[in-house]
Amino acid sequence: MMARWIFLAVLALSGRVLADGFDYSIVGNGCMVDTVSIRNDLYENRGHGVGFKPGKFGTIRLTCPITIDRHGSGGSSNRKWHSYTIFYKDTDGAATGTFINVQLRHANFNAPDIGLNWMNTTVALSATGPTSFTVDIPDVDPGPASFWWFEVRLTRKAPSTADVEFLGITLQ
C-alpha cells in the first residue's frame, strides 16, 4: 500500500514539473543536417552541438523535429506553446560574420503547405560564449493534425573565422 502512495506522489510531482517546465527539447546534433550542408562538407558534430568545420563558411541548415503527445480531439491539442529557448555559441557577438536563424514551422497532415509561426536571429546579440535566449511567441496550439519542427540555420560569412555553434533548443 505504501508503494502505491509513493508511486502516486511521484506521478503527481512529475506532472507538476512537466507543467512548469518545457514540452520539448533537443540537442543540436539530434537535428537532421540538410543534403547541401553534407555535400559541401560544412558541418561537424561537437559533443551535443553542431558547428562549422575549420575554414568552412556558408549556411548549415538543420531540421529539428518536435515530437509531442497528441491530446484532445477536433482542432485543439489542449496545450499551448508560449516561448522557445535557443542555446548557442557565437564568438563574434553582435558582428555579422556569424549568426543563427531559428524558425518554428508546421505542416498539416492533409495539406502540402508549410507554415511559418515564428522566426528569430542571433545577429544583434552581444554574447560571445555559450549562452541562451528565450523568444516569447503568441500562444501556439500545435493541434492534433500537424507536423512541427524547428528549422535552424547557422551562417558564417567569408572570410570570418569566428565560431558559431548550435547547442540545442527547448519549447515551452
Q: Who's near 83: CB < 8 A, 6+ residues apart?
A: 134, 135, 136, 137, 171, 172
Q: Kindly state whether residue 15 falls inside one of the protein's structural domains.
A: no
3-class DSSP state of 102: strand
Report if residue 7 sits inside a domain.
no
pTM above 0.75, yes or no: yes
Q: Residue 16 domain-assigned?
A: no
Name the one residue in this structure whose C-alpha cell is 507536423: 147
Percent of the chain with pLDDT strictly greater than 90 = 44
Q: Is residue 10 domain-resident?
A: no
In a domain, 32, yes or no: yes
Is the predicted pLDDT of residue 12 greater than 50, yes or no? no
Q: How does the average pLDDT of the chain come out, rounded?
A: 80
Q: How confident is the model at residue 150 (pLDDT cuts 50, 70, 90)?
A: very high
Q: What's the pLDDT at 123?
A: 67
Q: Give the total number of structural domains in the chain.
A: 1
8 has a pLDDT exceeding 60:
no
CATH number at residue 48: 2.60.120
Range of lowest pLDDT (7-16, 22-31, 118-127, 141-150): 7-16
Whole domain around residue 87: which residue ranges?
23-171
Q: Please provide residue 75's backbone torsions phi and psi, each rounded to the nearest 5 degrees.
A: -95, 5
